[in-house]
A and B are shown apart, each in its own frame.
Chain A
Amino acid sequence: MLKSFSIGKYIVRENLSNKILNGFLVFAGIILLSTLLLKELSIYKSDMIIRDSGIFLIEFFVFLVSVLSSSSYLIREHKEKSIYLVLTKPVSRTEYILGNLIGNIFMLMIYISIMTVFLQGILLYTGFSLNSMDLMNILFIFLKLCILSSLGIFFAVISDSYVTANIFTFSVYVLGHFTTDLLILAEKSESIVLKGIFTIFYYVLPRYYTLNLRDYLIPMDINYFNLFAYVFAYILIVSMISSLIFEKRKL
């Protein structure tokens, strides 16, 4: 496990010195700052406008960074052949995959924290503040992106190209937001094959629609334990499958 943490630490360090990712962060900061203008443009509920836009922008930018980082790192290491340096040392492939995941999760934590502090600063400047529900929404953005990171690593394991791995990860994120509609499609579909495909998708894809707390229209009575357990189990399963495939893959 310690070895996984070392790999994770290396990934965080590399990502933090990555100019493209840092560029994203600066750009995100500028866009977040522009939400200040929205306050002037709205007749009522300017706090809601800044808050909803800010929280969405946090997810959007960290999502981009997360897709780029999680689904590219392993492929880049493979192409640059630096992966052999790590794997020839007494580091198992499972430890490598776990390290990759830990690094990405830490990176998400850092990026989301920085942007949350920034958003809070903007809200304080305009006379408002993030409430406990907003913080919960941001926590669930983090959990959603943790799942996405594990999927990004999975697609990097099964694919040889940056483009396909990025597209797959991106598609899963989008598809995950309409899982419930897939079930409705399955119910309405007359073809048994389509019904089966939609139902499988409904259970296999991450339930972003349900985990998307920031988009709940009214406050709901939620059992957070079930949601946390779902996220934990999903990441565990995806990581184990990635590890099993990576174990058998010829490098």
Chain B
Amino acid sequence: MKNLDKKYLVLIMGLFILSMQFSYMNKLDKELKAYEVEAYTDMGTSLKLLGIKRFGTAMLWIRQTLYIGETLERDARKDIRNNAFEIARLNPYFLENYYASSVVLGLIRTYTDYEGAMALLELGMEYNKDDRYLINYYGGIVASAGGDNEEIIKNFEGIIEKYPDPLLINILVGIYDKKFEETRTKEDFDKLMKYSILLYETGIERYVERVEGIWGKIEELTIKGN
């Protein structure tokens, strides 16, 4: 009987220690949840539920390498895009996925899936706000898409509102400079002025010089009456 009492005592002690840890465990649970992407695919959900997000990322990354390797043999654009998003949803902090996949999607001539590359990089920027390379890659994709795609430029302007990075603004100034030269519309002129002022305000010497050059060119056009 005495032995049984001792066991109950140990049990109560254990329950007491356990209940003391619950508030910390709940807090940690919530913090961990906040770092995850909410929308999972079916496969992502299964991997997450089994507690193998990182292992799943590693395996999907190898699959991505294989898809990229198949580029010379077949059009693997859809697979690369879907797999890149699958990885990004499973582990949004895995930067190499954004770098490599967006370059393959956006810059390989047979693919030129600008929308896919940009959407992937936007997801990356959302979760990795301090990473400079993602912004650079984004700028690179937009510069490569050129000023022909209105949808891309519109998207890009939205990104600049969110991340007013000098490099990105510089790319947009370049695009509108070229567009204004071709179209000479008031709309393009307004946009060019808006972004060149923004770029001028960054105070970065090379950008200031570029803006002054553009403004000088516009002044010349105005004097000539064009």
Contact = CB atoms under 8 A, between A and B. Distances in A.
Q: Are A and B genuine complex partners? A: yes
Interface residues of B, number: 45
A197 to B, nearest CB: 18
Given A42-B65, A207-B25, A215 B96 contact: no
Dominant secondary structure of chain B at its interface with chain A: helix
A244 B3 CA distance: 10
A179 B30 CA distance: 12
Interface in A21-64: 38, 41-45, 48-49, 52-53, 56
Contact of B51 (A42, A212, A229): A212
A229 B35 contact: no
Interface residues of A, number: 48
A227 B20 CA distance: 11
B14 A209 contact: no
B50 interface: yes
A208 B32 CA distance: 13
A183 to B, nearest CB: 8
B18 A230 contact: yes
Given A226-B25, A230-B21, A38 B96 contact: no
B58 A226 contact: no
Contacts, number: 119
A44 B95 CA distance: 10
Contact of A94 (B7, B25, B55): B7
Interface string A118-135: 000000000000000000
Contacts of B13: 236
Contacts of B108: none
Contact of A174 (B21, B32, B36, B49): B49
A217 B50 contact: no
A92 interface: yes
Interface string B29-50: 1011101100000000000111
Given A42-B62, A229-B21, A234-B18, A240 B55 contact: no
A232 B16 CA distance: 12
Interface of B: 3-4, 7-8, 10-11, 13-15, 17-18, 20-22, 24-25, 28-29, 31-33, 35-36, 48-55, 57-59, 61-62, 65-66, 68, 91-94, 96, 100
17 contacts: A38-B58, A41-B65, A42-B65, A44-B100, A52-B57, A56-B52, A174-B50, A181-B49, A203-B22, A208-B51, A215-B51, A217-B35, A230-B18, A230-B25, A233-B14, A233-B18, A236-B10
Given A42-B65, A56-B52, A223-B24, 18 more contacts: A41-B65, A45-B94, A49-B58, A49-B61, A53-B55, A53-B59, A92-B3, A94-B7, A177-B50, A203-B22, A210-B28, A217-B92, A220-B31, A222-B28, A226-B24, A236-B11, A237-B14, A240-B11
